[in-house]
Every structure is written in structure tokens, then in C-alpha cells.
Amino acid sequence: MEAVIANIRKMSRYMAYLYFEKRDYARLQAYLSDSISWVGTGKYEICHNKEEAQHFFMEEQRVYQGVFTITNDTYRVIPLNTCTVIAICLCRVQPQDRDALDMCEDMRFSLLWTKEDDEWKISHVHASIPDSSLDETNYFNLNPKELKSAGIQLASRYDTLTGIRNMEGFVKEAERLLKDTTQAYALIRFNICNFRFINHQYGYAFGDDILKSIAHNLSLSCQDTETCARIEKDTFVMLYHLQDKEKMYKRMYEVKSRLLDCSSLRRLKQKVQYTAGIYILEKDNKENIKSMMDKAAFAMKYVENTLDSSKFMYYESWMLQKKNRDDELLEQAKAAMQNQDFKLVIQPQMQLEDDRIVSGEALSRWTLPDGTAVAPDGFISLFEKYGLISKYDFYVLHLLCKTMQRWIRENRKIFPISVNQSRTHLTEPNYIEYFIQVVDSYQIPHELIVFELTESAFTESEKLLQHFMMSLKNAGFQIAIDDFGTGFSGISLLSRVNADILKVDKSLLNGINTSRRQMTIFWKIIEMAHSIGMRVICEGVETKEQLNDIRLLKCDIAQGYLIGKPIPLEEFEEKFMSPTVRI
């Protein structure tokens, strides 16, 4: 046995030399057993055959291409039986190129040797940071068969693409780490910004490389009693110790700057950005891990979507309360739509040339069973978020068309009426066909319907938008650009979009009587719109001064509380639509 131990010690030293100093994985692989089950730097990097081991080595090479220097190496060789021997090397390794990889670590390099046909082969190779909880008694006391079956069981908790934990693995490991600990922890969940763009621009294989690189670097960022996982496509979670928010800020910044390895970074030419939510765990750690992940996800939703850099947000209890309120509102909305509890109001629009009411805008109102009125701003964005908006906007369209059909039958003086349609419809297949079908089912002449799209809709793909607008125009509807002046598109929008009406937002109007600059801008907008054949509606006119100002600036139509508030249909009919000959 002495000779075996000496031989294994010598071979193990050679393996450490190949692994760290030469990084000659090809030669090292010649020593691997066919039943290799474990390889890597993390705690549980499982592989099931030589091919997977080779893949792992290639990944390692890709992340850092240089070599290490070994110092202070000591070896311990422990025979389990005549055919199985454990060798552990404790050493210090230092990368030769410290600019590329800034670390100098004490390492435990462990090998499990098994005798196969008179040859010693490695069924386990593992480099880890020394951890007293992982000494040979609880780390190596499995025989290779047991190791393999443990490996298969463990594999279901690992993500096949990246090798780090998956959702199930994370939950199990987090539960283990949080059991009986007094440490403070935070659960971080993050999502890569524009990952779809990376896939599209560079191809899915590169997208996968990015995910692997992130996973690898995340696992390196974890200390012994921390963990990380990839739980969905480009969503990762970490369970990190929490000292204070300032240290967490620094750590998040560091994580961000090290997410990619050199080769991915070179190809992508920029760092990846993330949006993260952080949940600080309660002291008793009794909470369900998935509910912690949900809370971190709520926080993520509140991160501002700015273009410049990664952002994160801490979870706060109001976020859950808001979510619950939203869920409740959504449930009520579904019932309200069935019970026809939404009502239409119409706001009159006055032509400035002769002060006649010439058109109106349909807006919706919702009164809850307890009498509370919910303003559209409080539910439209919610409907958009949860995919209810299409149903809702068509519901409103039906209501309006039904009313207009009655007006036509009653021979009333009839105005064109605007409907607000969400920008989300731009990407809905067959939306316009369905829109036309509804209007036609009530036999409403198309020119009596004005289709309002907010300025923000015009940030969508140019081609898509052009096609959308063209189809509406060809069908004879009028198109209005709503809320002009609140988005980013500005004047350039007017040259790109063939709309009939420009609705200038009230925020632009507010400054005109105090600022000459604002007044000039307002005037130029009107002038430009006229020069390309558009009519201009000014929204939010509340005072006589404002009305005079916009009259002077040659605005075409005024809408606002001064002219008239949005009023129920019956009131609107009574006030503005006495049954006379149709015009």
C-alpha cells in the first residue's frame, strides 16, 4: 500500500501541475475515468462522461487563458480501499497574468482515483476554496458508484446550460443555508437588459455563451455560505450575506463589472446591464424561498427603465400591497366588463374659427360597486400590463358605435368622435381588420371615427407603424397623434407620420403665457403642422387667457374644462346634438 500511496501522491502532484501550471487539459483528460462524475471549481459541478468534462475544461480555458503558479503545496493521500484512493492537495495558486484575473487563493485540489484494469484513473477532480465543512470525511466518503448516483440526483437541481443551480437547486440550497443561521441575508434577482437583442444580433450560440459566462462568474462571486442560480432564461438569483446597504451597493457594482469573461466582453464590446430586485430577508428566515423570489421580482418592476446603466431596487411592503390591489382591481374589471359597468363620457371639442362644437372625444369611466370612481389612468395601464386592454378597447368601441348608430337613426347632428386606442394594439395580428369589422357592423361611416394613438406609440418600429397607419388611412379613418409634447419624438415625428390631427398636450400649453420661449415653440408646432396639412387640437384649455392665446396662435380646435368637461352620453346629446338635419 505504501507504494500505491507514493505513486498516487506523485500522480496527483503531476495533475495539479497540469491543471494549474500548464493548464494542459488535454493531457489531464487522458487520466480521466470513463465514469468521471465530478469536475470543476464549484461545489457540485457534475458531469456524466468525459465529453462533459472536456466541455467544462474548455469553458475554464475560455474564461481565463493564462496559467497559474503553485506555491506551498502539501498532499494528503487517503486510501479508501485497494481500488479507491483520495488525494487532496492544499496549495496557493496565483495567476500569472494578474491584470486578467485578480486573485491569489488558497486552494484545495482534490482527486478521487480508482483502479481500472490495472490503471489508476480519476473519477473526480475538484478545485475549491478550502472549506472546513467540506473535509474528506463528508466530502469523499462516497464510493464512485454512490458519487455517480448522487451526481444524477443532484443533476436535476442544476441548469444543464450553465452548470449552476436551477430553481429547484436554489430553493434546496437556500433552505439549507438559512437553517439555523444567525447571518443576515439578502436575496437578489436580476434579469439581463436587452438579452433578446443580444440573441438577435449575435446569434443564440453567443447568447448561450453570455449566460454561461454570467453563471460562472456569479458562482465565483459566492462565498461558501452563499449561493446562486439561473432560474429562467436570462434571470438569475443569488443569496448573499448582507452587512449593510452600502456594502451591498458596492458588491452589486462589482458583480455587474465582472459578469462577463474577457472573450465575451471583447465580442459584445460592452458590459451587460441588469435590472435587479433585492429582498432583505426577515430575521427569523421562516419565509418560503419562492415567496422571497417573488418579492425580489416585485422590486425589479419598480426599477426605472433608463438607458444608461444597471439599476436595482429594494423590496418594500407597499409593493406587495399594490400588487394585491392591482389583482383585486383586475378581477373586478373582468366582472365589470361582463356587467357593462364601464360608462362612456364625451368631452366636446370647439372649433376656434366660429366657436362651434365640431367633435368630441370618448373617454371611459368606471365606478366600483362601492361607489368609488376609478380614473382611466388607474386602470388603463393595468389592463395593458395584464393583456386585458384589447378586450377593453373593443368594448369601448362597441359602446361608442352603438351610440353613434342610434344618433344616425335619430337623425341627430352628428360629430366625428375620437376613441383612444392603446399602443399595444400595434403588434396585435388582425387588429385593424377587427376594428373595421366592429365599426362596419354598426354601419358607421369611417370618417366619423378618429383613431387616437399617443405619441409614445410612435417609438415602436417605424415599419410596423407606417403599415398600421396606412391601413387605417386607407380604410378612411382619421388619425390623431395624442399627447404630443410629452414623449421624445418631437417635431421629427411629424415628418415621419401621416396623421390628420395633432393633439398638443396641456403641459405645453401651461407655459405659454409666462414664457416667450414656450409660446414660440407652441406657435412653431402649429405652423409646422398646418404646413403639412394637419389640424391642431389643444388639450387642457382651462382659462379664457389660454383660449385667447391659442386663438392668436391659430390653433384649430380647443378641448378642455373651459369648453366642457367630459359628460355622460345623454347629457352630451342634450347639450350639443339636438335632432336636426344631419350634416
| Residues of the shown chain interacting with Ca ion in the complex, contacts defined by CB under 5 A | 420, 452, 482-483, 539
Which cell is 306 given?
433608463
Residue 389 Cβ vs ligand C2E, minimum distance, rounded to whole Å: 6
Residue 551 Cβ vs Ca ion, minimum distance, rounded to whole Å: 20
Q: How far is CA 132 from the centre of its chain?
A: 39
Between 310 and 347, whose beta carbon lies closer to ligand C2E? 347
Residue 347 Cβ vs ligand C2E, minimum distance, rounded to whole Å: 6
The option from Ca ion, ligand C2E, none interacting with 380 (CB < 5 to 8 A, set by class) reads ligand C2E
Candidate list 179, 377, 495, 514; residue touching ligand C2E; CB under 6 A: 377
**Alpha-carbon distance values, 259 to 48, 166, 235, 254, 424 (Å):** 27, 18, 13, 9, 33
561 near ligand C2E, judged by CB under 6 A: yes
363 near ligand C2E, judged by CB under 6 A: yes
Between 147 and 457, whose beta carbon lies closer to ligand C2E? 457
227 near ligand C2E, judged by CB under 6 A: no
Residue 502 Cβ vs ligand C2E, minimum distance, rounded to whole Å: 13
Task: Please provide residue 161's backbone torsions phi and psi, each rounded to the nearest 5 degrees.
Answer: -70, -50
Q: At a CB cut-off of 8 Å and minimum separation 6, what does 43 contact? A: 128, 134
451, 421 Cβ separation under 8 angstroms: yes
* 97 to 126: interface string for ligand C2E, x by CB under 6 A: ------------------------------
- Check residue 282 and report its DSSP letter: P
- Check residue 19 and report its DSSP letter: I
Cα separation, 209 vs 308, whole angstroms:
24
Cα separation, 150 vs 32, whole angstroms:
19
416 near ligand C2E, judged by CB under 6 A: no
Closest CA to 540 of 520, 555, 529: 555
Residue spans of beta strands (DSSP E) within 385-534: 417-420, 449-454, 478-484, 501-504
Q: Based on the number of CB atoms within 10 Å of its own CB, is 423 exposed (0-12), middle (13-18) or buried (19 or more)? A: middle
Residue 483 Cβ vs Ca ion, minimum distance, rounded to whole Å: 4
Candidate list 472, 566, 569, 576; residue touching ligand C2E; CB under 6 A: 566
Candidate list 542, 551, 567, 571; residue touching ligand C2E; CB under 6 A: 542
**Alpha-carbon distance values, 476 to 109, 382, 505 (Å):** 75, 31, 25
Between 261 and 393, whose beta carbon lies closer to ligand C2E? 393
197 near ligand C2E, judged by CB under 6 A: no
Q: Which residue has the cell 382591481?
A: 329
268 near ligand C2E, judged by CB under 6 A: no
Residue 133, SS3? helix
Between 376 and 416, whose beta carbon lies closer to ligand C2E? 376
* 29 to 68: interface string for ligand C2E, x by CB under 6 A: ----------------------------------------
- Check residue 119 and report its DSSP letter: E
2 near ligand C2E, judged by CB under 6 A: no
Q: Give long-range contacts, CB 8 A cutoff, 24+ apart: 442-446.
A: 442/401, 442/402, 442/404, 442/405, 443/405, 443/408, 444/401, 444/404, 444/405, 444/408, 445/476, 446/475, 446/476, 446/477
Stretch that binds ligand C2E, among 29-37, 135-143, 271-279, 414-422 (CB under 6 A): 414-422
Q: Which residue has the cell 350634416?
A: 583
Residue 484 Cβ vs Ca ion, minimum distance, rounded to whole Å: 8
Residue 504 Cβ vs Ca ion, minimum distance, rounded to whole Å: 9
Residue 25 Cβ vs ligand C2E, minimum distance, rounded to whole Å: 59
Residue 540 Cβ vs Ca ion, minimum distance, rounded to whole Å: 8
Residue 380 Cβ vs ligand C2E, minimum distance, rounded to whole Å: 5
Sheet with 84-95, strands from edge to edge, namely 38-40, 119-128, 105-116, 84-95, 68-81
Q: What single letter denotes the amino acid at residue 268? A: L
403 near ligand C2E, judged by CB under 6 A: no
Between 240 and 522, whose beta carbon lies closer to Ca ion? 522
373 near ligand C2E, judged by CB under 6 A: no
Interaction with ligand C2E in 380-399: which residues (CB under 6 A)? Answer: 380, 393, 396
Cα atoms in the Cβ-side hemisphere of radius 13 Å centred on 388: 20
Closest CA to 384 of 351, 422, 428, 414: 422
Q: Strands 417-420 and 449-454, how do they pair?
A: parallel
564 near ligand C2E, judged by CB under 6 A: no
How many residues bind ligand C2E (CB under 6 A)? The answer is 21
Stretch that binds ligand C2E, among 113-121, 246-254, 376-384, 436-444 (CB under 6 A): 376-384
Interaction with ligand C2E in 271-330: which residues (CB under 6 A)? Answer: none
482 near ligand C2E, judged by CB under 6 A: yes
Candidate list 416, 487, 511, 540; residue touching ligand C2E; CB under 6 A: 540
Residue 99 Cβ vs ligand C2E, minimum distance, rounded to whole Å: 54
Residue 522 Cβ vs Ca ion, minimum distance, rounded to whole Å: 15
DSSP 284-322: T--S-HHHHHHHHHHHHHTS---SSS-EEEE--HHHHHH
Q: Measure CA of the first residue to CA of the last residue in the chain; give whole Å.
A: 109
Residue 391 Cβ vs ligand C2E, minimum distance, rounded to whole Å: 11
Between 165 and 503, whose beta carbon lies closer to ligand C2E? 503
Interaction with ligand C2E in 336-355: which residues (CB under 6 A)? Answer: 347
Between 391 and 517, whose beta carbon lies closer to ligand C2E? 391
Cα separation, 92 vs 60, whole angstroms:
18
The CA R_g of the chain, rounded to the nearest whole Å, is 34
Within the chain, what is the greatest distance between any pair of CA atoms?
A: 114
Between 185 and 451, whose beta carbon lies closer to Ca ion? 451
487 near ligand C2E, judged by CB under 6 A: no
Footprint on this chain of ligand C2E (rule: CB under 6 A)? 347, 363-364, 375-377, 380, 393, 396, 420-422, 482-483, 506, 540-542, 560-561, 566
